[in-house]
Chains A and B, each alone.
Chain A
Amino acid sequence: MTEPALQIDRLEVDFPTKDGVVHAVRGVDFTLAAGEVLGIVGESGSGKSVTALASMGLLPKSAQVRGSIRFQGREILGLKEKQLTKVRGTGIAMIFQDPMTSLNPVYTIGWQIAEAILAHQDISKNAAKQRAIELLAKVGIPNPAERVDNYPHEFSGGMRQRAVIAIAMANDPEVILADEPTTALDVTVQAQVLDSLRTALTETGAALLLITHDLGVIAGIADRVLVMYAGRAVETGTAEDVFYRPSMPYTLGLLGSLPRLDSDGSERLRQIPGSPPSMLGDRTGCPFVPRCPLAAEICTTTEPELVVVPSVTSEEGGHRAACHFAEAVGRGDHGGVFTDGVVDNVVA
């Protein structure tokens, strides 16, 4: 087996603050094989973005990072800034959430793509511009030869995000990290951007780490899914496993809160009551307890580990969940929490 594109082991990220230490990421492991698409799902504050930023060494200096992040077998953590700049862009590229702000307003789109190329490759400005036009064409910008001289404010939101994808493709990276690439866009444009993203993957052969809280986006593009809650992975497996055999109440809640096309429209959207826990200080037990309808005595005392649970695909051991009742939840033996309107009663 070849070296995984990105391998993260026991990643922990702490931010010391005035009020105490914030444990943003508390031990996350995952492997991103070459060419694979891994979706990370979770609420705001669950540590998704911090995990991504850590893999590029982009966290603020105050962050304390432990564990291991290896890019093609090479440890990223502890690398000098100078070595990191060589990895960034060529090895790992990143797509940010808001294309309105992630493009420099004073330069043309073409200049910015060319700049990304020229930062790593020693080619002429003309060649870089030609390449910029090619890249724009690939991500589906019409009239690329003309649009290359436009400024970001002359592009629509979707086109800007595609330009950002073109920039990410510029140096043929092995891994693309996309941090909520569709969140700032409206739904019709999201599909186009995801198409461009797929093009980017086929063109560069890169692996994609897609961070989002939109399960629909994940379902459409991801091979595997990692559900994060309170800085930990609470369920991981193939997209089929997570969607068809969710084995952790939180995943169940996320799935239950999606609007369904096959409902008659009279049902209310189900919500997960409460809000994510504060990451400040230490805790015992499962962080989902206050919001979990299945919480029992053991949940408040012991935080469950990720354990292998049955998978709907043949790959054994690929589906893991962190819940004391994972087996039962996976079998659908959960009293209909988050699916049969029980939530309303819980809130009441």
Chain B
Amino acid sequence: MPEPVAQENFVIQTPERVAAVEAGAHTLAGVGAGLELSAGDAHGLSGEAKSQSRIVLGRFFHQRLAMIGLGIFALLGIASIVVGHFWQYSYTSITNNLNDPPSWANPFGTNAIGNDMFAQVMAGVEKDIEIALTVAAMATLIGVTIGAIAGFYRGWVDSLLMRFVDLVLVLPVLAVLILLSAKLSKESDNWLGLAFIIGLLSWTYVARLVRADFLSLRERDFVEASRALGATNRRIIVKHMLPNAVGPIIVNATLTVALSIIFESTLSFLGLGVQPPNVSLGLLVDQGQDSATTEWWLFVFPVVFLIVLILSIFLVGDGLREAFDPKKSRVRA
């Protein structure tokens, strides 16, 4: 690594160095150590040492689009919780106004049975985020575990696990979701089950990604070095290799959040996802589509929120990918 402050090495005479030289450290090592000491101090002057995570975060926070995405996502998340607790109507409460257009009392209008659409849309956002985060957590957990084991052990373990991944990949996702969620849809509080099903079908991509990363990581010298130090396989996988693969994992988890919202909306739109009285954005779009031309507020608000929510997550994902990309011009480490 080039030292940008190389010429300062010979300028800065730290007390320690002078002391070291005066103490008669005239061996090659002693003088060398003294030189490097001053290099270290000069380095200290040139800026605080940055850890990898801080570099990545720094790059992430410098991207305007990503920050907008993160802002919108945070705003939607917080708003949905706040509205759920403090708005005058809950998403289940029924007002006396039927099919009212947006007004001060009902900013997003009301539907045919008098539900406040603002409360409904915000409840939909909350449910969507809940489902999406559950799916992403599940998919990442399963995918990372299977990918890491396959990539680390290779051989028949790898073949077996990857053929299993292929098997899951060739399942027509929508058909399986429809089949499985048909059972679930009979229960009223089914969103968690729904999230589990989507999660069980979306981990394959993470698994392949992590496996590919581990296949190259396992050949790196530091893995061999930690094995030579007596680290167990589990310790090597969890403590030494996983932190090196964390970039793609995080980026992919973010994209999984967005994709699972799309999945959930598709299912709910087909009437197989979240069931009333629970609401999700997909369900609201489904319910509002018939009246899209007449009571436009029943259709437009859920659609707009759905699109904005998904877009904001994609923006965050893109920003993270940029931030983790080592080929991008970087803040000096």
| Chain B neighbourhood of A158, CB < 8 A | 32, 36
Of A89, A150, A153, A191, which contacts B229 at CB under 8 A? A89
Q: How many residues of A contact B (CB 8 A)?
A: 51
Contact A143 B228 (CB under 8 A): no
| Chain B neighbourhood of A88, CB < 8 A | 227-230
Interface string of B110-146 (1 = CB under 8 A from A): 0000000000000000000000000000000000000
Chain B nearest CB, measured from A305 CB (Å): 33
| Chain A neighbourhood of B227, CB < 8 A | 58, 88
Contact A151 B36 (CB under 8 A): no
Contact B222 A101 (CB under 8 A): yes
Contact A85 B49 (CB under 8 A): no
Q: What residue of chain A has the Cβ atom nearest to residue B239's Cβ? A: A115
The B-contacting residues of A in range 146-177, CB under 8 angstroms, are 146-147, 149-151, 153-154, 156, 158-159, 164, 167, 170-171
Contact A151 B52 (CB under 8 A): yes
* A127 interface residue per 8 A CB criterion: no
* A202 interface residue per 8 A CB criterion: no
* B189 interface residue per 8 A CB criterion: no
* B29 interface residue per 8 A CB criterion: yes
Chain B nearest CB, measured from A312 CB (Å): 29
| Chain A neighbourhood of B233, CB < 8 A | 81
* A140 interface residue per 8 A CB criterion: yes
* A87 interface residue per 8 A CB criterion: yes
| Chain B neighbourhood of A107, CB < 8 A | 243
Of B39, B41, B222, B228, which contacts A104 at CB under 8 A? B222
* A51 interface residue per 8 A CB criterion: no
* A86 interface residue per 8 A CB criterion: yes
Interface string of B220-247 (1 = CB under 8 A from A): 1110111111111101000110011010
Q: What residue of chain A has the Cβ atom nearest to residue B25's Cβ? A: A140
* B44 interface residue per 8 A CB criterion: yes
Interface string of A108-123 (1 = CB under 8 A from B): 1000000110011000
* B34 interface residue per 8 A CB criterion: yes
| Chain B neighbourhood of A108, CB < 8 A | 51
Contact B230 A87 (CB under 8 A): yes
| Chain B neighbourhood of A115, CB < 8 A | 226, 229, 231, 239
| Chain B neighbourhood of A239, CB < 8 A | none
Chain A nearest CB, measured from B14 CB (Å): 9
Contact B36 A142 (CB under 8 A): yes
Chain B nearest CB, measured from A171 CB (Å): 8
| Chain A neighbourhood of B44, CB < 8 A | 146
Contact A188 B28 (CB under 8 A): yes
Contact B333 A153 (CB under 8 A): yes
Interface string of B24-52 (1 = CB under 8 A from A): 00011100111011011101100001011
A236 CA to B49 CA, complexed, in Å:
48
**Given contact pairs A85-B231, A142-B16, A156 touches B29 in the complex (Cβ within 8 A):** no
| Chain B neighbourhood of A90, CB < 8 A | 230
| Chain B neighbourhood of A96, CB < 8 A | 221, 224-225, 228
* B11 interface residue per 8 A CB criterion: no
* A105 interface residue per 8 A CB criterion: yes
Contact B33 A154 (CB under 8 A): no
Contact B229 A192 (CB under 8 A): no
| Chain B neighbourhood of A188, CB < 8 A | 28, 32
Of A58, A86, A105, A189, which contacts B244 at CB under 8 A? A105
Name 26 interchain pairs, CB-CB below 8 A, sorted by A. Answer: A58-B224, A82-B232, A85-B230, A86-B230, A87-B230, A88-B228, A93-B229, A94-B225, A94-B228, A96-B228, A104-B243, A105-B52, A108-B51, A115-B226, A119-B235, A142-B16, A142-B34, A143-B41, A149-B49, A153-B1, A154-B49, A156-B36, A164-B225, A191-B32, A192-B33, A195-B27
Q: B: which residues have CB within 8 A of A?
A: 1, 16, 20, 27-29, 32-34, 36-37, 39-41, 43-44, 49, 51-52, 220-222, 224-233, 235, 239-240, 243-244, 246, 333
